[in-house]
Amino acid sequence: MTDTPVLHVDMDAFYASVATRDRPELHDVPVIVGGGHRGVVLSANYLAREYGVRSGMPSARARRLCPQAVTVSPEHEVFGTVSAAVVETFRRITPVVEVVSIDEAFLDVRGSVRRWGSPVEIAERIRATVHDEQGITCSVGVAASISVAKLASRRAKPDGVVVVPPEEVTTFLHPLDVGELYGVGEKTRAMLHRLGLVTVGDVAHTPLRTLQRAVGHAVGSHLHELAWGLDRREVVAKQTPVFGIGGGADPEKSMGAQQTFSRDVDDREVVLREMLALTGTVSRRMRVAEVAGRTVTITVRFADFTTLTRSRTMPEATDVTQDLYRTAVGLFDALGLQRARLRLVGVRVEGLVPRESVHRQALLGEREHGWSDADRAVDRAARRFGNAAVRPASLLG
């Protein structure tokens, strides 16, 4: 069931999808994001790509290729917000999420199958959740290794899932152009083509020593492993991913999670159980990142898509689940909702600071020390047995 534990999730035409998701008049026309009069294309939807428009292309050339395309301005803050929300969706499934760019990430789900089902079922759940909560689509590759999962997600585009079981890896890889191998750039591809190594199968069946003499010892060994699907790299959880454009190293200033109900909910107890689960997810991420926060924000979205947010700042920063949850419950009850039908609920902790900078007594008073120890015991169990190994009694079943 876990012979393909690595997922590569790639948003479909991310910038274009986000830029047009609330503009139905653009859903069936070619769209270019960015560019301007003398700029370059940031992204293009699939209709524009059919005309040869690609990201990084000068906008003048893009207009010549597709003069009927509609050009829209990028909204970088919106892109970052959507990216962060998508990553939170991933982290509801597994804590082992490696964000590699604003629109793609690797997930290791081997510790999540008890709760969420097989890796394929997890992939389908992710696609459905991203579409429902963010209004965009993604494609997922499922495999035993990072490099094969990456290639599988390309084959899944747009809006699909491709699974490559271990016994089918060579059948999947060997017909591909060698330039498709993860990490092989244009220069390496051109060099390999000059040597007559056009397909991945050509590389795989070249004796290793011959390959090493041609391209160097390290590169030759790496290419040989990739060609046989023997990439041994592990997915590495990144605690402070960047969601901006162009990079940066600022840590996250907030962490949150949200959940869309399978059907609209008007039962307070059901809502509070979901808020407890979300608060546990957020506090666990905070402890992994060794941060604490003072401000709790909740989000509720009604059946008609009206959305409300409420925040409260606590006297001291904390990473204790029960402290954060009590604050979230107080915020929810203060809304005074009388059987209102809710579509979505979310919990976010803001104003994060390094946990070591918080006075220990403020975090770990006599009663809080017990809850803090309980949280960390649960964290240890989750790392070993998966997120669902230990849960509050109210969340069982």
Instruction: Return the pLDDT at 241.
Output: 42
What does the pLDDT read at residue 363? 43
What residues does each domain of the chain span? 15-76, 183-227, 254-395
- What is the model's pLDDT at position 272? 95
- Residue 252 is predicted with a pLDDT of 56
Provide the annotated binding site.
10, 103
| 3-state DSSP percent of the chain in helix, strand and coil, to 5 | 45, 20, 35
What pLDDT is attached to residue 312?
92
pLDDT digits (tens, 9 = 90+) for 11-65: 999 999 998 887 889 989 999 998 665 678 889 999 999 999 998 888 889 999 9
CATH fold group of domain 183-227: DNA polymerase; domain 1 (1.10.150)
Residue 13 confidence (pLDDT): 92
Residue 370 confidence (pLDDT): 57
Would you list which residues are annotated within the binding site for Mg(2+)? 10, 103
In the prediction, which pLDDT does 174 show?
A: 96
pTM over 0.85: no
Query: Where in the sequence numbering do the catalytic residues fall?
Result: 104
Residues 226 and 145: their CA atoms lie apart, in Å, by 10
Torsion-angle region of 71 (φ positive above 0: left; ψ -120 to 50: alpha; else: beta):
beta
Distance CA 85, CA 93 (A): 13
Q: How far apart are CA 104 and CA 99, in angstroms?
A: 6
User: Do 135 and 21 touch, CB atoms closer than 8 A?
Assistant: yes
Q: Does domain 15-76 have CATH number 3.40.1170.60?
A: yes
Q: Which residues of the chain have pLDDT under 50?
A: 239-251, 360-369, 383-384, 387, 389
pLDDT score for 291: 87
According to DSSP H, which parts of the chain are helical?
Answer: 14-20, 46-49, 59-65, 76-93, 113-116, 119-134, 146-156, 169-173, 186-194, 200-204, 208-215, 217-227, 268-289, 321-334, 360-363, 366-385
Quickly name the fold that domain 254-395 has: Dna Ligase; domain 1 (3.30.1490)
